[in-house]
Structures are given as C-alpha cells and as structure tokens.
Amino acid sequence: MPKSFKRQLSFIVEGEIYDNETSPEAIIKNYDWHDITSNYEDSIHIMADHNDHRGRITKMYRVSKIEKVPKSPDTNYFMI
C-alpha cells in the first residue's frame, strides 16, 4: 500500500485590472478553482473559471518552494 502525503504549492499570479476600484485579491478570489479528472494517471489539470469583467488572470508560475500543510486533528474532542 502506498504512503500518502500532503504539501502546499505556491504560485505567482499575473493579471490585468480594468478599473481603479478593484484589487488584485478581488480578481483572484472571484475565480472558481477545481480539478479536472484525467484518463492519464500521471496527469493533473487545474481549471479556473470566472465571470468577472473587472479583470482577469493572464499568467501563473509555480514557485519552487514546497511547504508542509499545517496538521489538523482527525477528531475533535469536546470537554464537558
């Protein structure tokens, strides 16, 4: 049985803003991010859609730094 792991990847995002009131964070947060199932085992596809006319992402670059994901408990215990 294979071992599983979880890591966090980072990206540099470039884009365009079409008005003066919009922030880059607002453009990025408006995207709907999801993965696409592939028929190939060694292939991963990430899709991002948006309907925002205030701006758009034009390029993304993966940063080489890979970080561990903060641990979260499997079960929450409540003391009464």
pLDDT for 55 equals 95
Q: Is the pLDDT of residue 17 over 80?
A: yes
Radius of gyration of the chain (CA): 18
Q: What is the mean pLDDT of residues 6-35?
A: 92
Residue 44 confidence (pLDDT): 83
Rounded to whole angstroms, the Cα distance separating 34 from 63 reads: 20
With a cut of 80, say whether residue 1 has pLDDT above it. Answer: no
What 8-state DSSP symbol labels residue 45? E
Task: Return the structure tokens found at 15.
Answer: 């884009």
Tell me: the pLDDT tens digits for 23-65?
A: 999 999 999 999 887 777 778 888 999 988 999 999 999 999 8
The phi, psi pair for 35, rounded to 5°, reads -100, 155
DSSP helix/strand/coil, 51: coil
pLDDT at 42: 77
Domain ranges of the chain: 11-63
Report the sign of the C-alpha dihedral through residues 25, 31, 33, 37, in that order: negative
